[in-house]
Structure 1
């Protein structure tokens, strides 16, 4: 074993004494109530607390969520990062924070799904549970989908970051929103135009944020796939988890045939969103991680179908 170093054994104090050594103290005599009905409820204090609050609640709640998809895999479990809020009148000191997660636990028992029909029911019931006039849930999660190589059809898993938000107001009803961000390939039109051969390309991130028609959002087959297609189909080429040489040839040639500035990207994606009955308002952003510059290239467009007219 070589030169093994040995240490003398020693007798340790028992666990209670060790805890005492590191600062634990004997509990004091407890005099306050232990029954909920007898405990003070500061949050339900009713006075004039000066201002109404736009939102109060809990954030950074991580919880498993079931996702249904038109693309493979059709059913998957992901981890949602959730935020729950409601407004608060100046006559109330605070909200009952435990009721947010209490309701989440109740829905988990039934199967918590990333569907607008589920989230609509959730926030309506949450409004009643909180005894407030409104409630909002915002949930973000990675959504995985199968992507095959264009020539060999070897499959792997891609993912996009997806978010959903639903607000219920007793006076105005429901408002629904969603977002999706995904990476694509963009090839520089300028580089292609001025170079004798080749053209530089880069990975671009397309981010879409939309407000949705309530009826359409519940009835469409898969709004995630619709937003994904709007982003990917307008790029120079899509990203693939598995590429063999025949696939790589096809992907690089496709990118060369479809050059895109960030300005081109946001306008083309905007056109697709404009044609969707599902979407009432949108913002599209594209950020290219430039391969021949130290900086990124960015572009964005915001459009409200209800308040603007599309240029002829």
Structure 2
């Protein structure tokens, strides 16, 4: 049976646009050259208050990340936030300068590390003619993980965030965080049950400040934080597991039960022993497998103000 269809005669595209509200351009009288246009953002008056921060956020852009483990160099997506303070006598900032500078760095191959972010913030402060500038970037960092028994490999990832503030008077301030997934097995469940024990997937988030002499060209801080989280868990997570691997992972978890309270204390101990860490906050959130709620714990410590 042959199918037939009706042919509808449509107005041309210009008439369709008019049908849905488009109108002809009106006579334009304002300048079209940049040097002739009014620049409201650069007005200088008393605008009542200085601003702590002004800028742009949620800027997604390709970046290059280097690592001391495979893959040693990777392209990932950075989510940026750029800000600076604003003096009381400045009406606004030049938003386009943030993305102009980002594109310049991208064209040159933007390897994100603290050295490049320091350079970026200092240059940005000078371009904006403000006393400071801050850049924050978060991205997924990928790393190779081999199965414990068979050696089958795949890629895992952790969520990384880096922040650099340049201040004309006080210099640079750098901070970072890493969030990784782990397995925890409930000690109480293991203790009271005749057999088995419930476990859950947990997220360890570590926020750290660095010592003034820290150099991330020499030390891969991402790797150290990842190890602090995973080595203290009931078990690490793996992208590929065969049966011999699964047996080893589940038995290892059973041999190393952890509460959320245990996790943050053990991770904190590892961070305390890292010479380049000046302060830290460790948070653990477990997605409970036999409850609807999550279990949480956190600890904050500053090596230069607190005594153990």
What TM-score, normalized to structure 1?
Answer: 0.96
Corresponding position: 1:198 with 2:196: yes
1:242-274 per-residue CA deviation (whole Å, 9 max, x = no partner) reads 000100111111111111000000000001111
Bigger mean CA deviation after superposition, 9-18 or 93-102: 9-18
Rounded Cα–Cα distance in structure 1 between residues aligned with 2:11 and 2:147: 64
- How many residues in Structure 1 have an aligned counterpart in Structure 2? 308
Corresponding position: 1:26 with 2:24: yes
Structure 1 residue 12, shift from structure 2 partner: 2.4
Pick aligned residue for 2:80 from 72, 79, 82? 82
What is residue 91 of structure 2 aligned with on the other side? 93
Structure 1 residue 212, shift from structure 2 partner: 1.2
Rounded Cα–Cα distance in structure 2 between residues aligned with 1:264 and 1:120: 36
Rounded Cα–Cα distance in structure 2 between residues aligned with 1:46 and 1:17: 47
What is residue 3 of structure 2 aligned with on the other side? 4
1:34-88 per-residue CA deviation (whole Å, 9 max, x = no partner) reads 1111111101111111111110000000000001011111111000000000000
What is residue 49 of structure 2 aligned with on the other side? 51
Gap runs ≥5 in structure 1: none
Rounded Cα–Cα distance in structure 2 between residues aligned with 1:217 and 1:298: 32
Rounded Cα–Cα distance in structure 2 between residues aligned with 1:22 and 1:294: 50
Corresponding position: 1:173 with 2:171: yes
Structure 1 residue 22, shift from structure 2 partner: 1.3
Structure 1 residue 219, shift from structure 2 partner: 4.3
Q: Secondary structure, in 3 states, of the residue corresponding to 1:198?
A: coil
Where in structure 2 are the equivalents of 1:262-277 lying within 5 Å?
262-277=260-275
Q: Secondary structure, in 3 states, of the residue corresponding to 1:218?
A: coil
RMSD of aligned residue pairs (Cα, Å): 1.1
Where in structure 2 are the equivalents of 1:242-253 lying within 5 Å?
242-253=240-251
What is residue 140 of structure 2 aligned with on the other side? 142
Corresponding position: 1:73 with 2:67: no
Rounded Cα–Cα distance in structure 2 between residues aligned with 1:220 and 1:250: 34
Which consecutive segments of 4 or more residues in structure 1 shift more than 4 A?
none
Rounded Cα–Cα distance in structure 2 between residues aligned with 1:11 and 1:203: 60
Contact kept? 1:70, 1:222, Cα under 8 Å: yes
Rounded Cα–Cα distance in structure 2 between residues aligned with 1:256 and 1:220: 37
